[in-house]
Amino acid sequence: MNVLIAALVMFAGSYKMPVKKIMTSPVLQQRLNLTDEQISKIRDVWFKTEPKLIDLRAQKAKIMLNIREELNKDAVDFDKLSKLYSELGGIDAKIKLARAKMLVSVKGILTKDQIKKLRLMKYQWRRHQRRMMRHMRQFRPMRPMTPPMNPPMWPQMDPMIGR
């Protein structure tokens, strides 16, 4: 199952392709030169996939809650915890598989030129984000140096030594 997910993700490119943004952003639609038919097909794919993803995310949240509950107990049952983590991995795999299928479907709707434009826009956006983060780090104020709460006692100050 994991090999299938990896293959689909590799075939689809990045599994974080902005399907919802393609569907809702008129600027992105214009830059990609999407036709009304393509927008309609992408919308159909998204509305078909998103309810499944919502259900899977809800299941994941419930499992995470059960894991937190189990970890907060005084006597942790590791067999139950192992089962919960296995379920969590299965849900994550199903989410990734559903997203990969959706992206492969959307890539089938877009032309090769539109896919190239989309990848270039994503690359430029990531570059812009990295530049902004570097800029923000450069001007971030330094934290003030605080003395330790209990400074170590030096030998010359130790009353037991008698110096």
Q: What pLDDT does 79 receive? A: 93
Residue 81 burial (CB count, 10 A): 15
Q: What is the mean pLDDT of the chain?
A: 79
Structure tokens at 35: 């036709």
pTM: 0.65
Euclidean distance between CA atoms 12 and 115, whole angstroms: 11
User: 1 falls in which pLDDT band (50, 70, 90)?
Assistant: very low
User: 121 falls in which pLDDT band (50, 70, 90)?
Assistant: confident
Q: What pLDDT does 10 receive? A: 39
50-83 residue pLDDT tens: 999 999 999 999 999 999 999 998 898 899 999 9
DSSP 8-class letter at 144: P
